[in-house]
Amino acid sequence: MSRGDAQPPTLGIDVGGTKTQGIVLDGDARVIADRRGRTETGPSGVIATALAVARDCLRLAGVGTAELGSVGVGIPGRVDHRTGVVCTAVNLGIGRLELGSVLSAELGVPVYVDNDVKATALGAADYLRAGEADLTYLNLGTGVASATLIGGRLVRGTDNLAGEIGHVPVDPTAGRCACGQQGCIEVLAGGGQIANRLAAGDSGLTLSTLLAAAEAGDQAATDEALRIATGIATAVQLVVLAHGSTRVALGGGVVQTAPGLVDLTRRLLDERARQSEFLASLDLAGRISLVPAEHPLAAIGAALVGRAGVADLRWERPVRMEPASRERQS
């Protein structure tokens, strides 16, 4: 297909624990295909899923692999973005996988791989039209992690370690974390730990019923909601104080299942501000926004990873969703 574009189309794939989503971005930064499939785990399952979603997207977009400029993939775990090697993606059953080179050999185009939270930060910056901003994306999923853009550029640190803020211990009474420490932010606000607490509580509460139960006066639900929101508020305060982020985008299953937690987090931050002139001057609550679950932020971010290659990963210009990109899902 010839659109007279300066840039060839790019395919972005977000590999998640349960679903894998792909989008095709054309040279005018329009999303012209948007497909998803269930993630098969294990190295061969992840590869098969990514290829199936990729081919589905390309068919829907009417783009052949020969026309494709590059592919970007976002995936959980420790990722070396220079080599495309993924390590210790526990939920996907991956110990070590040369994902970039395997997919590149199959598709015949360069494939760039990055950690999913880092890729999603680019997608979030795009969604908020804040590509040049100092922005942090805070992912509240099974675990808690962040990715920060400073002037639109990703902060990586040695071994891409920057952003593992879920393992900052903040409450020694909160219980043990999977990492071995006591009371990490992830213990308070990580979806895995929340689910364990709710199941152990024998109250029949779930994350989606938690806030309604708290509203109705259930003390256990109120305590749990406050515990989670305290973890989120502390994470927000941490990234703003560490990086000076103007905006903090919140995403991930925890806040998408219970969006009211974002309002509660704002209330806690405002309460902290009432105790501290310093915090009041920062307006932490005003910096937060919730990114919508239905917008393919992570897959768009992955496409931006593909477009940038290993060079200077940054957001370029606004992505627009084409209505026809969402053909009926099977």
Nearer to Zn ion, 177 or 249 (CB): 177
Strands (E), 49-132: 70-75, 78-80, 85-89, 94-97, 111-115
Smaller CB separation from Zn ion, 41 or 181: 181
Minimum distance of Zn ion from residue 179's CB (angstroms)? 3
Nearer to Zn ion, 134 or 186 (CB): 186
**Closer residue to Zn ion, CB minimum distance, 109 or 184:** 184
CB of 31 to Zn ion, least distance (A): 36
The DSSP result for 233-294, as a single string, is HHHHHHHHHHH--SEEEEESHHHHH-THHHHHHHHHHHHHHHH-HHHHHHTHHHHEEEPPTT
Distance CA 23, CA 1 (A): 17
Q: Which two tokens stand for residue 228?
A: 């989670």
Contact call for residue 167 and Zn ion (CB under 5 A): yes
Q: Are strands 10-15 and 19-25 parallel, antiparallel or unpaired?
A: antiparallel
- Whether residue 303 contacts residue 11, with contact meaning beta carbons closer than 8 Å, is answered with yes
Q: How much helix, strand and coil, in percent to the nearest 5, is found in the chain? A: 45, 25, 30
Hey, which residues does 296 pair with through a beta bridge?
A: none
We find the least distance from the C-beta atom of residue 147 to Zn ion, in angstroms, to be 18
Q: How far is CA 325 from the centre of its chain?
A: 21
Choose which of 177, 211, 239, 258 interacts with Zn ion (CB under 5 A).
Answer: 177
202: Cα separation from own chain's centroid? 31
Q: For Zn ion, which residue of 87, 90, 105, 179 counts as binding (CB under 5 A)?
A: 179
Q: Return d(Cα 165, Cα 167) in angstroms, integer.
A: 5
Q: Which is nearer to Zn ion, 87 or 179 (CB)?
A: 179
Interface region with Zn ion, contact rule CB under 5 A, candidates 15-23, 75-83, 177-185, 235-243 = 177-185
If one asks whether residue 170 binds Zn ion (CB under 5 A), the answer comes out as no
Instruction: Rule CB under 5 A: say whether 184 interacts with Zn ion.
Output: yes
CB of residue 180 to Zn ion, shortest distance in Å: 7
> Can you tell me the distance from the alpha carbon of 146 to that of 140, in angstroms, rounded to the nearest whole number?
9
Taking CB under 5 A as the rule, does residue 326 contact Zn ion?
Answer: no
Rounded CA gap, 258 and 262, in Å?
8
Q: Which is nearer to Zn ion, 135 or 138 (CB)?
A: 138
* Stretch of 10-18, 151-159, 179-187, 214-222 contacting Zn ion, by CB under 5 A: 179-187
C-beta of 76: minimal distance to Zn ion in Å?
A: 16
**Minimum gap (Å) between residue 281 Cβ and Zn ion:** 31
Residues 6+ away with beta carbon under 8 Å from 250: 138, 140, 232, 236, 262, 265, 288, 289, 290, 291
Nearest-approach distance from CB 164 to Zn ion, in angstroms: 9
Stretch in the footprint of Zn ion (CB under 5 A) among 142-150, 171-179, 234-242, 248-256 = 171-179
Question: How many residues line the site for Zn ion (CB under 5 A)?
Answer: 5
What residues line the site for Zn ion (CB under 5 A)? Answer: 167, 177, 179, 181, 184
